[in-house]
Structure 1
Amino acid sequence: WADETLVVDDESTDETVRLAESLGARVLKRRMDVEGRHRNWAHVQAAHEWVLSLDADERVTPELAEEIARLFTDGPRFDVYAIPRRNYIGARWIRYGGWYPSAQIKLFKRSVFRWEETTVHPRAFGPAWGTLRHDLIHLSYRNLQDFADKLDRHTTLEATKWCADSRKMGRGKAAWRSVDRFIRTYVLKQGFREGRVGFFIAWMAGKYQWVSYRKYLAMRREAGARPTSGGPATDADARGTKPATARTGAGS
């Protein structure tokens, strides 16, 4: 149902390229540098104006494919569309804790949309968007250990971003954000309804903030800079460990 399948390969050493080409995909190789920049580069390589951008761990359901096909038959009302995602840990679909619907921009006209060129959690820049009805399957984590391993990698990227942005972050602010993220995830967003897994998710959401701060502190010390002292605050850009939902910024 797509006119072209384009795969951007991050210099993989397994059978990814061979398998993709055997299924009719056009494969381009590019080493991942900055997430937002990598995505923007990929979109420019597409043969058509409209792009459905998917990560390797995302799957289009038959219902979603039918909805997208119908959208173009009837004529799109928007130039950008977000798609709700079902996020999984292993075989378990996580419905609470802010993990669903977790809509993210995936379908758009490349001429009017771009991602912020940053290393982690890039923001979306473009016009107002619509939201499709059917879900995209997101195989977020293989298991809880995979969850913890990815948190370690993502907190390193987060701390690097804070340093690059000269973000002011002190112990008090980091502690407040950690507690705030746990309460939001477990109580306000009803993560408790997921049982022990919900508690683990909320705990990791809070831990994400604190571990990011500790790594930020180490990076600042290594660079010879004294860490700043920040008081309790709620940062609109604070991220937990749940999959990020795209937000809009100024038009490109």
Structure 2
Amino acid sequence: MFSIYILTYNEELDIAACIESAMLSDDIIVVDSCSSDRTVEIASRYPIRVVQHAFESHGRQRTWMLESIPPKHEWVYILEADERMTPELFAECEQAIQQSDYIGYYVAERVMFMNRWIRYSTQYPRYQMRLFRHGQVWFTDYGHTEREVCHGATSFLKSTYPHYTCSKGLSRWIEKHNRYSTDEATETLHQIEQGTVNWRALFFGKSEVERRRALKDLSLRLPARPLIRFFYMYFLLGGFLDGRAGLAWCTLQAFYEYLILLKVWEMKHLPVTTLDTQSSVSQTNTQTDATSINFS
């Protein structure tokens, strides 16, 4: 058996279905970022632990969670409210933790948008660190999201999980990606000024995770990023095979990329006082919503 952490913020529409999908575990912990809706009320109806902690950033929230809320079991799984645990994935997780060769496992998501699986436009299989031995994996901030730091060998699971990335409506998606673009613009400037491209990992990386991160660093340096991203997703990845939903998804991601570039320009040219105010607002509003599909 393994414990399941569920990260939430204003997830009253998703939290019940998420918890019920995770009830195969006997230790579920909802870590809420001080929601203003009925998330905590709904979660409290279930025989689980519910803990609230003010949100600072994705990496810090996960680190605080792992340090401050001891799980019942040695192994833990991180689930977000707009994702679901499946019986097949749960069974594979149980089987994986019986092996002692690895300290963590990456799991691929299936992005669900406009009532269908976006198979081609989303770099599938796109892996995230989700199942790991408690105390052996930590998280740091990167752009609007986080990256894991693993103290040991890792591997990959075959089963996947559905991610209902727009389950709360397009308006919520646009709102959160407006916030995310500020963090991504900050990370873009930092990487261009101080980062490098790992060319070896880009072409010869041992895993999808290594290659994708190198591609992310390269993409930050390319001109006309919104157009390149649309072409890459829609034509090279085969997004056109995802039908109408694929076209909409690729267009939204190109728009998101353009928004990041506009905010990079703002950060370079606006007065420092304006930037400080903008940064403060972003830090106040950023919460643990569903992640966007990008190269990170």
TM-score, scaled to structure 1: 0.78
> Are the counterparts in 2 of residues 186 and 202 from structure 1 also a CA contact under 8 Å?
yes
Residue 18 of structure 1 pairs with residue 68 of structure 2: no
Could you list the per-position Cα deviations for residues 201-238 of structure 1 after superposition, in whole angstroms to 9, with x for gaps in the alignment? 2233333222111112223322349xxxxxxxxxxxxx
CA distance in 2: counterparts of 1:105 and 1:173, whole angstroms: 26
> Are the counterparts in 2 of residues 174 and 210 from structure 1 also a CA contact under 8 Å?
no
Residue 86 of structure 1 pairs with residue 110 of structure 2: yes
Per the TM alignment, residue 90 of structure 1 is displaced from its structure 2 partner at its CA by: 3.8
Residue type matched to 1:65 in 2? F
Equivalent residue number for residue 58 of structure 2: 35
CA distance in 1: counterparts of 2:270 and 2:31, whole angstroms: 35
Per the TM alignment, residue 197 of structure 1 is displaced from its structure 2 partner at its CA by: 2.4
Q: Give the aligned length.
A: 227
Per the TM alignment, residue 147 of structure 1 is displaced from its structure 2 partner at its CA by: 4.0
Per the TM alignment, residue 244 of structure 1 is displaced from its structure 2 partner at its CA by: 4.9
Matched ranges for 1:37-116 at <5 A: 37-44=60-67, 45-47=69-71, 48-72=73-97, 74-116=98-140
Residue 197 of structure 1 pairs with residue 245 of structure 2: yes
CA distance in 2: counterparts of 1:38 and 1:219, whole angstroms: 26
> Are the counterparts in 2 of residues 81 and 131 from structure 1 also a CA contact under 8 Å?
yes
Residue type matched to 1:7 in 2? V
Per the TM alignment, residue 29 of structure 1 is displaced from its structure 2 partner at its CA by: 0.8
CA distance in 1: counterparts of 2:295 and 2:221, whole angstroms: 23
> Are the counterparts in 2 of residues 85 and 135 from structure 1 also a CA contact under 8 Å?
yes
**Structure 2 gap segments, 5+ residues each:** 1-23, 194-219, 274-290
Residue type matched to 2:131 in 1? L
Q: Aligned pair in 2 of structure 1 residues 209, 61: CA closer, same or farther (>3 Å)?
A: same
Could you list the per-position Cα deviations for residues 137-185 of structure 1 after superposition, in whole angstroms to 9, with x for gaps in the alignment? 111113555544443232122124445x3745xxx95643222212211
Q: What secondary structure is seen at the aligned counterpart in 1 of 2:126?
A: coil
Per the TM alignment, residue 8 of structure 1 is displaced from its structure 2 partner at its CA by: 0.8
CA distance in 2: counterparts of 1:244 and 1:108, whole angstroms: 23
CA distance in 2: counterparts of 1:122 and 1:207, whole angstroms: 22
Q: What secondary structure is seen at the aligned counterpart in 1 of 2:141?
A: coil
CA distance in 1: counterparts of 2:184 and 2:121, whole angstroms: 21
- State the identity as a percent: 29
Q: What secondary structure is seen at the aligned counterpart in 2 of 1:98?
A: coil
Could you list the per-position Cα deviations for residues 41-66 of structure 1 after superposition, in whole angstroms to 9, with x for gaps in the alignment? 11222324321011111100111112
Equivalent residue number for residue 140 of structure 1: 165
Q: Aligned pair in 2 of structure 1 residues 23, 245: CA closer, same or farther (>3 Å)?
A: farther
CA distance in 2: counterparts of 1:46 and 1:57, whole angstroms: 24
Larger displacement relative to structure 2 (138-147 or 77-86)? 138-147
Equivalent residue number for residue 187 of structure 1: 235
Q: What secondary structure is seen at the aligned counterpart in 1 of 2:42?
A: helix
Equivalent residue number for residue 257 of structure 2: 209
Per the TM alignment, residue 81 of structure 1 is displaced from its structure 2 partner at its CA by: 0.4
> Are the counterparts in 1 of residues 226 and 257 from structure 2 also a CA contact under 8 Å?
yes
Per the TM alignment, residue 105 of structure 1 is displaced from its structure 2 partner at its CA by: 0.9
Q: CA RMSD in A?
A: 2.8
Equivalent residue number for residue 6 of structure 1: 29
Residue type matched to 1:50 in 2? W
Equivalent residue number for residue 243 of structure 1: 293
CA distance in 2: counterparts of 1:122 and 1:63, whole angstroms: 26
CA distance in 1: counterparts of 2:237 and 2:103, whole angstroms: 30
CA distance in 2: counterparts of 1:128 and 1:30, whole angstroms: 31
Q: Aligned pair in 2 of structure 1 residues 173, 104: CA closer, same or farther (>3 Å)?
A: closer
CA distance in 2: counterparts of 1:244 and 1:9, whole angstroms: 25
> Are the counterparts in 1 of residues 113 and 245 from structure 2 also a CA contact under 8 Å?
no
Q: What secondary structure is seen at the aligned counterpart in 2 of 1:202?
A: helix
Q: Aligned pair in 2 of structure 1 residues 222, 245: CA closer, same or farther (>3 Å)?
A: closer
Could you list the per-position Cα deviations for residues 5-59 of structure 1 after superposition, in whole angstroms to 9, with x for gaps in the alignment? 1111111122222322221111111111111111111122232432101111110
